[in-house]
Amino acid sequence: MKNQFMLPDIVTVNNSPSLSVPWWKVIYDFSALTKWVDTSLHGSMSSFWATITEMLIIGVLILLFYALVGLFLVYAERKVCAFMQNRLGPNRVGPFGIFQTIADLFKLLFKELIPIKNADGFLFNLAPFIVIIASFMAIAAIPFAKGLHAIDLNIGVLYVMAVSAMGVIGVLLAGWSSNNKYSLIGAMRSGAQIVSYELSVGLALITVVILAGSMQLSVIVEAQRDGWFIFKGHIPAFIAFIIFLISSTAETNRGPFDLAEAESELTAGYHTEYSGIKFAFFFLAEYINMFIVASIAATVFLGGWMPFHVGSWEGFNHIMDFVPPFIWYIGKTFFVIFLMMWFKWTFPRLRIDQLLTLEWKYLLPINLVNVLIMAFVVLMGWHF
């Protein structure tokens, strides 16, 4: 006898047989949950207060997610670095050292905020908030699973590029307002670096936009239901993926492109004069920015929350569908993060002239040609 509590193999949507879908795809779709929350709030209060409440709920969730991901990435960076250098990494505070980053967080929260003589106080205090707000705004547009994103803009790719680039304003303000020559040099390097590599990041994403025919991130993910763009787009998509990885690593000021905070030359670069919670903002923003660019790479090149399917392998594809979409998204994102960490702890730091030469003489021309090739491939219909 069939258990009355067992889920049926097929769930009928709106009593329509034509809209029947497997039950696990219904469970993994967060659209119904978010719609129920929205309907409940608007049914129990005015439209204005319902909207304000939704904003507060989303803000708190993003804040918690921000903090947890930041703490985890700091720990992961230390462990990956230790593995690359044949060390143990954090192994004292908590099992396997998992509470070490929490201890460091409390240390930074309670450290004294040292006033800097002759610094521009207002801009000095404003700079870390600009950096942290820019990364907050970028996270809002990222689709974590079907129906699980704060806002689904039809210009999602453009929006993420625009708000993530705002972080350089905070870096420039921090360097200039500190009244420190090392900070100023670091900020100038960072400004030149981010503005330069933003071009390659943008062109790499435009390559995918041409293939998808949309800048809406949810549409880009849906277009990869029958295959991820890194495979469907042939060689131009793979080249765009590699260029995006290199350029986004440089844009987030991570090694081997960490010229803006080169410890051997500039002490700590643009955040030399910062301490306590203000330094923690810059430190956390670096890791969150790495998470954001990895999320974008996973979304536009690796299918986002879409499972891995292989042609007509129905049995294999069926098994892949059982893995929750959020797990697919997180797995792909952390795979890209691991590549960026591997990249950092493998190559030596470049000089500033080498860094800019790489962008203007190599990556940018390759990117321009690659965009033209992708446009031709799409025009001829040669993609999968």
pLDDT of residue 14: 46
pLDDT of residue 361: 92
pLDDT of residue 13: 43
pLDDT of residue 4: 39
pLDDT in tens, 126-171: 988 998 888 888 888 888 888 788 888 888 899 998 888 888 888 8
Q: What is the pTM of this model?
A: 0.86
pLDDT of residue 240: 94
Regions of the chain with pLDDT less than 70: 1-27, 262-266, 311, 383-384
pLDDT of residue 383: 66
pLDDT of residue 182: 84
pLDDT of residue 19: 43
Tokens of 209: 């936009």
Q: So where are the chain's domains?
A: 104-380
pLDDT of residue 279: 85
pLDDT in tens, 294-351: 999 999 999 888 888 776 777 787 888 888 888 899 999 999 999 999 988 888 888 8
